[in-house]
Amino acid sequence: MATDFKSQRFQELFDALDPDRNDLVGKHSFDNLISRLDHDFGGNIHDLQKAFHEFWRTVQSRSENRPTLSKQQFVDALNATTLREFDLLSGRVFASAFGFGEVTKDKFVRYYTAAGGDEAAAQEVFTRLDGDRDGVLIRQEFHGGLVNYLHDSAPASSVVLGVV
């Protein structure tokens, strides 16, 4: 069932956004992610922060504008979010993190590990996202990762928000 699989993926995203394991996510969760990225990756942090906050506001609006969400509330809110909204966010994240050009494997690995992933997983995800096997990612390949994340059960099938 697609909905059950998507819910499982959204639970994984919740867990990635809740590293302190307090069973709540909120704007602070995205701020923590931004802090990790700013410290370990650099890049256009201000634009990334805007993209992540916009995503949080979208999710929050699907859950009665609560300041924090439990895992189930988060999953329910994401299930009410459209693929187009995810697509718009992935485009903003890509442009904010990498600009409008191509992304090398080294830069992608730095971003992925700064977001909390490990290097081996980052290399595997890059390889999976690099559909034409030219050694660089473009925005369409990054977006393909989002679609795979929601529909492909293979491990490390993608990256969402640079988090999972």
Of 140, 29, 147, give the one whose Cα is nearest residue 82: 147
| pTM of the predicted structure, to 2 decimals | 0.78
Euclidean distance between CA atoms 22 and 137, whole angstroms: 35
- Tens-digit pLDDT profile for residues 104-125: 999 888 888 888 778 888 898 8
Q: How confident is residue 143, by pLDDT bands cut at 50, 70 and 90?
A: confident
Buried b (16+ CB within 10 A) or exposed e, 12-48: ebbebbbeeeeebbbeebbebbbeebeeebebebeeb
- Tens-digit pLDDT profile for residues 27-80: 999 898 888 888 777 667 888 888 889 889 989 999 999 999 999 999 999 889
Of 109, 93, 82, give the one whose Cα is nearest residue 54: 93
Euclidean distance between CA atoms 1 and 14, whole angstroms: 20
> Is the Cβ–Cβ distance between 53 and 30 less than 8 Å?
yes
Q: How confident is residue 156, by pLDDT bands cut at 50, 70 and 90?
A: very low
Which tokens belong to 15? 């867990």
